Structure 1
């Protein structure tokens, strides 16, 4: 048996329980990871709505880090005792234009990381970056990979570019800020929170503006080469208005609404580019890890909770009170 946060019987937070479940058996090609830490993402909120009331109990969570304590037959890439992080993307090995049809994410439909252990395909156990603490390693993969693909693979960020990141506060947004600065871009962020704007400037943002004000006035007419839109409908058109002619907007977030109306004439006369993005491949995860090791980038940590205190963590992310990543301490 193992302690876990799992969802069963009801939609939403009402269906979450901290209790005991059976551990899965390790099959050929799989490994079991004894988790030390895990990371909370917005995706976990969506899982609570998507997981059916009649479905079997599901351990929530997509991010985690720990120690391999059992390997299945045929496994050669990791050994017992290895320190690893979880690659949350299942069946997406190479950097392709879009995820393959068989792509899944840890934590739905299969069990996730908010538990004392997890059984995964061996290829999803990736060596822990040595410069990260356990708390940092447990939160880096999903948000870091999402930011890396959106910024580099899709957005093709280059040194000297002007990059706008609306809604600084989420884990992905803070990674975007750190990655863009490391790439040599000039970074603009928005937030309605003065505290978050100040923190963003401390993290290296060149400009931080009030998202509830007039963006064009605050930017004094400066237009962006690249906008990474991870908020949704409430900011999308304001983001698009700040894009230069010929510029690119990459979108992957819809927590603030998923339907928008744009002026097509302005868009095509402006020769602008609109690209979608989501998560990333195992190949890009390796690239992202190499990037953060080269630049010694650490995740911006908001708070770390004991796994049993999951309600406080979910409440914090649901209210968008965090700046950076929320983690869980699973075991010593």
Structure 2
């Protein structure tokens, strides 16, 4: 089978190789992957900026396909089913936070960027029938991260005024779609006018270019502030978010692409009774709830571009450039 593996000994950091189809063990299933999708995690692994890296490991956390074989102790009715793979491994029993054994599918554990993969059978979820293979592959990691941040941590409801920062990336895209499905009043921020325009066509009420020096002033003048902010950047920009967050509001942080803040204006946080909440990928319960939510509202993930497995390096380069609007998908 063909697969994309991590190889930090070559300039590209990844390579297309031929590997044997893996054998299954107890409690496992063999899935013929139809489509996979990239996340920033994959690019950070390629750049050597992630923990527990292992050259030779198959890349990719997102995938969808057809179950071909299951071990004898797994329900045989899975065979032939179209499935999405839950990439969260060993979350644990505590809904509030993941266990110390938690890991994400794809490096160091083999992932989804291969024609076949072996996965614990309890990671299989039936693919919603309204989704294409590309859409199904786009959903797992970013979808559950957005769902947990917005709905479990943020407790978003209809009528809430929600700001999603960095619109265009996978998690932000889903957070925006889920907000609209809930009936929230959506605001987004981005540095790209094309992405802001797209958000408006989706139904966003407010759109701000965060590179503009007066965007905070504009946001306060036009919205009066947001009760919930979903952010994946952190850095010093968090001090702008505390300004546009309403008193008593929440800022949920699921990532830190800008790194840690050099300073944090604590007075504004405590004086305005703000809640800053950390969030990651979700639990098995979050994943199940997210799939049900997507089915109920017939949400279609936004696909940026689709690449073949042979062109995976081009897909990674697009991820690195940050030009994508929605998810980058690889078909197999």
Q: What is the TM-score of this pair, normalised by structure 2?
A: 0.94
Q: Is the 8 A contact 1:146 1:172 kept in 2?
A: yes
Aligned position for 1:40: 38
Distance 1:37 1:242 in 2: 39
Aligned position for 1:150: 149
Q: Which 4+ residue blocks in structure 1 deviate beyond 4 angstroms?
A: 50-54
Q: Is the 8 A contact 2:189 2:196 kept in 1?
A: yes
Equivalences, count: 328
Q: What SS does the corresponding residue of 1:59 show, helix, strand or coil?
A: coil
Aligned position for 2:194: 195
Q: Is the 8 A contact 2:70 2:76 kept in 1?
A: no
Aligned position for 2:280: 278
Q: What SS does the corresponding residue of 2:276 show, helix, strand or coil?
A: strand
Distance 1:53 1:244 in 2: 40
Q: Is the 8 A contact 1:31 1:70 kept in 2?
A: yes
Aligned position for 1:109: 108
Q: What SS does the corresponding residue of 1:107 show, helix, strand or coil?
A: coil
Distance 1:77 1:297 in 2: 30
Tell me by how many angstroms 1:55 deviates: 3.7
Q: Does residue 300 in structure 1 map to residue 302 in structure 2?
A: yes
Q: Is the 8 A contact 2:74 2:121 kept in 1?
A: yes
Aligned position for 1:322: 324
Q: Please list the CA deviations of residues 32-75 of structure 1 after superposition, one character each: whole Å capped at 9, or x if unmatched.
A: 10000001100101222156899441100000000001101211
Q: What SS does the corresponding residue of 2:15 show, helix, strand or coil?
A: strand
Aligned position for 2:127: 128
Q: Is the 8 A contact 2:173 2:326 kept in 1?
A: yes
Aligned position for 1:22: 20
Distance 1:151 1:53 in 2: 29
Q: What SS does the corresponding residue of 2:109 show, helix, strand or coil?
A: coil
Tell me by how many angstroms 1:210 deviates: 1.3
Cα 1:287–1:23 shift into 2, 3 Å: same
The 5 A counterparts of 1:161-310 are 161-213=160-212, 214-221=214-221, 222-310=224-312
Q: Is the 8 A contact 2:54 2:108 kept in 1?
A: no
Q: Please list the CA deviations of residues 201-239 of structure 1 after superposition, one character each: whole Å capped at 9, or x if unmatched.
A: 111111111111122222243111001111231532211
Q: What SS does the corresponding residue of 2:99 show, helix, strand or coil?
A: coil
Cα 1:178–1:7 shift into 2, 3 Å: same
Distance 2:93 2:53 in 1: 35
Q: Please list the CA deviations of residues 15-47 of structure 1 after superposition, one character each: whole Å capped at 9, or x if unmatched.
A: 210111223210110001000000110010122
Q: Is the 8 A contact 1:236 1:260 kept in 2?
A: no
Cα 1:258–1:10 shift into 2, 3 Å: farther
Tell me by how many angstroms 1:258 deviates: 2.9
Q: Which moved more, 1:72-81 or 1:238-247?
A: 72-81
Q: What SS does the corresponding residue of 1:219 show, helix, strand or coil?
A: helix
Aligned position for 1:86: 85
Gaps of 5+ in 2: none
Q: Which moved more, 1:94-103 or 1:51-60?
A: 51-60
Distance 1:159 1:191 in 2: 24
Tell me by how many angstroms 1:300 deviates: 0.7
Tell me by how many angstroms 1:318 deviates: 0.7
Tell me by how many angstroms 1:14 deviates: 2.6
Q: Is the 8 A contact 1:66 1:83 kept in 2?
A: yes
Cα 1:22–1:166 shift into 2, 3 Å: same
Tell me by how many angstroms 1:174 deviates: 0.9
Tell me by how many angstroms 1:181 deviates: 1.0
Q: What SS does the corresponding residue of 1:36 show, helix, strand or coil?
A: strand
Q: What is the TM-score of this pair, normalised by structure 1?
A: 0.94
Distance 1:85 1:43 in 2: 19
Distance 2:323 2:95 in 1: 35
Distance 1:8 1:232 in 2: 30
